Structure formats: structure tokens, C-alpha cells
Amino acid sequence: MCELFGLNSAEKVNCNELLGTFFSHGETNPDGWGLALFDGNSASIEKEPISSAESVYLKHRLSDEIVEDVVLAHIRKASKGGLEYKNCHPFKRRDASGRLWTLIHNGTIFESARVDAYIGKQHGGTDSERILYYLIDQVDAAIAKKGEALTDKERFETVNQVIRDITPENKVNLLIYDGDLFYAHTNFYETLFRLQKGDTLVVATKPLTDDPAWEKVPMSTPLAYRKGRLVFEGEKHPFEFIDKVPRDSEYNKPL
């Protein structure tokens, strides 16, 4: 399956060891890698449609210190969408207020009219990118209704509703950053873990160290953090994803 990595902290921390371990998993997720670093309302995104374990560029990139307070990273095992740069995560888009949203996804949208409506409108071919298109349209609709930019609570409520809209019968593990709030969600058992160390939060598909403090991210419960601390927690929804076909089925491969 694809893997997600996210870091959200009150202070900048060195991420090289964590990222090195995470990207070493590219041997089993060979179809692309991506890394997003942030500066205010902008994001620097680096990605390639090759294995992170084989990327010469990434090897050199990780030889330099990466000291950040927010990071998103992704390694891809393709299902929907070919092996192209435009299908590699992270994806980013701005809402009507100018706020930048950056998203990584692990899972599969098997069926969702809301998400599928963006087929042909997106740049690439992944359902993950379509999730971001749907999210931005919902944020923009809320901005238009209010007549001004949304508050943090209103943004969280919008993300919470989007997740409830798209999760029924679908596998939706998400990490999202909107320049202020860092969102996490999983609805597939034991596929997202978190490590809290003071004001630093690390979230990953698999624990990246031997630290016993790693714990499972609560199931089916949208969460939002700021500077490493939980600030909003949604009500648990009933849409846990349970495999109905063998795990190695062509139709059960996550992005």
C-alpha cells in the first residue's frame, strides 16, 4: 500500500532520520515519491514518478539537513493514474480566499459521484487529486455563502463534512495542511499511527522508530492540529472501510 508521512510541530525539528526511514520503504511502493515543505502560505513540492529507494535526486536531497515545523511526504503504489509526475503526491490548490491546501492520500475511492465528477477536469488521473478538487469546491462554497474567509473552526467543519461525504464504501486515509491546521483521518484499521513528543506530532502509515509511544490514530475521526497540538476533533463517523475482496485484488490496491 502507499504510505503517508506528516510532521506538525511548534518548533522546527530535524526530519532527516524520520524521512530517511520513511523513504526507504519505496522498495515496496515503487511508483513515485513526493515531499512538501512549507513557508507561510506557500509550499515547495518535490516529487518524481520513480521509487524513492532508487532516486538519486532524493538521496542528495536527504544528505542536506531538513529542519522544518511542517512536512508532508508520500510514497506511491499506483492503482488509478499512470506513472507520471502529475500523478505523484502531494497535490496542492488554493481556495477562493487565497489559502493554499496541500493533500496526500492513501486508499481508494471505489465509488463516489462527488469525487468522480472531477474526472477530466483534473491535471492527472488519480482519485486522490479529485478529493482535493472536491474539498476546495466545498471550501469555496462555504466562503461564498459567508462572504469572507472561513475561520479555523469553519474550515475544520468543512473538512469534517467532506470526509463524511466521501468515506462510505471507500478507503480514505488523509493528511492535509491548509497553512494553519494539519488534518489527519483514517478509516482503515491499523494503517495510520501517530507519535506525540511534547509539541511535536509525527503521523505515518507505519511506526518509523522503536519508540513505544507510537499509537494508532483514532478510527473514522477527523482530527486537526496546530503546532503539534490537537485543536479540533470531529465526531466518529460509521464508515470504517472493511475489505470485501482479497487484499491482493487489483481493485483493492491503494494509491
The string of pLDDT tens digits covering residues 17-74 is 999 999 999 999 999 999 999 999 999 999 999 999 999 999 999 999 999 999 999 9
CA-CA distance, 183 to 218, in Å (whole number)? 13
**In this structure, what DSSP letter does residue 234 have?**
P
CA distances from 93 to 100, 134, 156 (A): 6, 11, 17
State pTM to two decimals. Answer: 0.94
| Beta strand segments in the chain, E | 3-14, 33-39, 42-48, 67-75, 91-94, 100-108, 171-177, 182-185, 193-197, 200-204, 215-216, 223-226, 229-233
Cell numbers standing for residue 226: 496546530
CA-CA distance, 99 to 153, in Å (whole number)? 15
Domain CATH for 109 = 3.60.20.10
239 backbone dihedrals φ, ψ, rounded to 5°: -100, 50
- pLDDT single digits (tens) 201-251: 999 999 999 999 999 999 999 999 999 999 999 999 999 999 875 444 433
Domain with 154, as residue range(s), is: 3-252
Total domains present in the chain: 1
- pLDDT single digits (tens) 136-153: 999 999 999 999 999 999
Nearest alpha-carbon partner for 105 in 139, 83, 76? 76
Cell numbers standing for residue 37: 515543505
